[in-house]
Amino acid sequence: MMGTHSDTKTDLRRELRARRRRIRGRAARKAAETAAHRVTRLPPWRRARHVALYLATDGEIDTTPLLHAAWRAGKRVYLPVIQSSQRLVFRRYGPTTPLVTGRYGIRMPARPDAPVCPVAALDVLIMPLVGFDAAGHRLGRGGGFYDRTLAGRGRGRRPLRVGLAHAGQQHPAIPHDPWDERLDRVVTDHTIHLC
């Protein structure tokens, strides 16, 4: 009996999460530093004034080196916050901004009145992922928050969408649905994929 598309995604998430969780310690730190260096070499990143990042959890590639590089370069940094609408807003995050742990263990700015950057005003959006393929299909955690937030932004101004991952998170063909938003680039500790 053939499994459903949803079952396939669930199984693939399990496999790829286990794979990335095996990268720890020195290897994880080196991967994060190398990936951050690659991101900072992207021309859109160099020109960017407003960038959105995430704070890593569950074996995701650590964004701390990239975060510090953004601050050193004078960029305004924003973190995702899940709203009741099941969409994300991106709140300003600075070196002294207190954090709280929200839904799904995601760390976010503690102040609900922290400035928000509209998606259309972001220059670069660094997105977490569980898996990716060469065509820019992204397998996230399964909540659809980034997809809902980015839906319908294909025509107007939109940020460069960059997935950040360990090289081992690549899969030959990520199962995807019509509403799944694709990435423009995927940066890993080994290379930059143009999608």
What pLDDT, in 10s, does the model give residues 120-165? 999 999 999 999 999 999 999 888 899 999 987 655 678 999 999 9
Annotated binding-site residue numbers for ATP: 9-13, 138-146
186: β partners? 163, 193
Between CA 135 and CA 129 the distance in angstroms is 14
Annotated binding-site residue numbers: 9-13, 55, 60, 138-146
Cα four-point dihedral sign 108, 174, 84, 113: positive
Into how many domains does the chain fold?
1
Annotated binding-site residue numbers for substrate: 55, 60
Between CA 178 and CA 162 the distance in angstroms is 19
What pLDDT, in 10s, does the model give residues 51-89? 999 999 989 999 999 999 999 999 999 999 998 888 899
Task: Give the 3-state secondary structure of residue 76.
Answer: strand
Q: Which residue range is the domain that position 129 belongs to?
A: 5-194
In single-letter form, the type of residue at position 118 comes to P
Q: Cα(first)–Cα(last) distance of the chain, in Å?
A: 34
CATH number at residue 18: 3.40.50.10420
